[in-house]
Structure 1
Amino acid sequence: MSIEFLLTSLVVVLLPGTGVIYTLAVGLGRGFKASIAASIGCTFGIVPAAIASIIGLAALLHTSALAFQVIKYLGAAYLFYMAWNTLKDRGTMDVNEERSSKSFGKIIMTGTLINVLNPKLSLFFLAFLPQFVSANAANPTVELINLALVFMVMTFVVFVGYGAFAAAARDYVITRPAVLNVIKKCFAGVFGFLGAKLALAE
Structure 2
Amino acid sequence: MSIEFLVTAFIVCILPGTGVIYTLAIGLGRGFGPSVVAALGCTFGIIPHAVASIIGIAAIIQTSTLAFQVVQWAGVGYLFYMAWGILRDDSALAVSENSEPIGAYRLIRDGILLNALNPKLSLFFLAFLPQFVPATTSRPTFAMTAIALVFMAMTFAVFVIYGACASAARDHVITRPKVMVWLKRSFAGAFILLGLRLALGGR
**TM-score class normalised by the smaller sequence:** over 0.9
Cross-structure match for 1:51: 51
2:130–2:144 Cα contact (<8 Å) kept: yes
2:72–2:199 Cα contact (<8 Å) kept: yes
Cross-structure match for 2:182: 182
After superposition, residues 1-202 of structure 1 pair within 5 angstroms as: 1-94=1-94, 95=96, 96-100=98-102, 103-202=103-202
Alignment partners' CA distance in 1, 2:99 and 2:179: 19
1:82–1:92 Cα contact (<8 Å) kept: no
Q: Which amino acid aligns with 1:10?
A: F
1:34–1:99 Cα contact (<8 Å) kept: no
> How well do the aligned residues superpose, as a CA RMSD in angstroms?
0.9
Q: Which amino acid aligns with 1:69?
A: Q
**How many residues are treated as equivalent by the alignment?**
200
Q: Which amino acid aligns with 2:101?
A: R
Alignment partners' CA distance in 2, 1:118 and 1:79: 10
Give the Å deviation of 1:89.
Answer: 1.7
SS at match of 1:112: helix
Q: Which amino acid aligns with 2:62?
A: H
1:130–1:144 Cα contact (<8 Å) kept: yes
Runs of 4+ in 1 over 6 A off after TM superposition: none
Give the Å deviation of 1:142.
Answer: 0.1
2:58–2:122 Cα contact (<8 Å) kept: yes
Q: Which amino acid aligns with 1:57?
A: I
Q: Which amino acid aligns with 1:99?
A: P
**Bigger mean CA offset, 156-165 vs 87-96:** 87-96
Alignment partners' CA distance in 1, 2:65 and 2:201: 11
> C-alpha deviations, 1:58-91, integer Å up to 9, x for none?
0011100000000000000000011111112221
Alignment partners' CA distance in 1, 2:65 and 2:24: 33
Alignment partners' CA distance in 1, 2:129 and 2:118: 17
Q: Which runs of 5+ in 1 are unaligned?
A: none
Identity of aligned residues (%): 60
